[in-house]
Amino acid sequence: MKRVRRAEGPGYPVTFGGVRPAAATATVDRDRDDTTERVRMTAAATFTSIFREEHREVRDLLFDLIDAFRARDLPRARSLLVQIANLTGPHFRYEEESLYPDLVDVFGAEYVEKLLADHDGAVRTARRLVELAGKDTLQDAEVDEAVAGARSILPHVSDCDGLSIMVERFPPERIAHILQTRTDALAADVDLLTWARTIRQRAV
């Protein structure tokens, strides 16, 4: 059965001050039958909500890290960096092992290479932040460097979250594969810097 949006067509009754149906929040491909389309939308919504939640966690930890460096609270900065590395290790890993390869069909290889290069930069920055947080005290210039470094990762968080708008178009099997890769990466539980040094193919 084809889905027809109620708000379309000349027969739709216009109401003034009455209750209108809520605007559709997801695009439905009307060339596909309802069941297939619902399965796809459910898979997409599951991925999007998991992906968003992971980015929220990293975002909040980065803001806390910026505060910790500004306050020169280095034990707190060290503890936050451990938490960030524990979250971003599996996250970067499943992005690179399944999401990014799948995005080559969408964006082309050149843009996916840029995404990988952004990860390279984030790994280098994380390494430097660990180095700075490991000191006994920081000079003013080092605090500025640490704050700028942590901030430089923030655009990756927001840009990366936007990728889910493309994942919505993937068939459910492909989304399920990405989520399975995520489950495997979480089970392996390798932090960002260890993964970058021992498992990741690209040397940084």
Which residues are near Fe ion by CB under 5 A? 160
Nearer to Fe ion, 132 or 153 (CB): 153
CB of 31 to Fe ion, least distance (A): 31
Nearer to Fe ion, 121 or 142 (CB): 121
Q: Enter the tokens of residue 186.
A: 């979480």
CB of 88 to Fe ion, least distance (A): 8
Q: What sign does the dihedral 172-101-121-196 (CA atoms) show? A: positive
Q: Enter the tokens of residue 35.
A: 């069941």
Measured distance between the N- and C-terminal CA atoms of the chain, rounded to whole angstroms: 52
Nearer to Fe ion, 93 or 174 (CB): 93
Question: Cβ-closest residue to Fe ion?
Answer: 160
CB of 137 to Fe ion, least distance (A): 33
CB of 74 to Fe ion, least distance (A): 27
182 burial type by CB count under 10 A (0-12 exposed, 13-18 middle, 19+ buried): buried
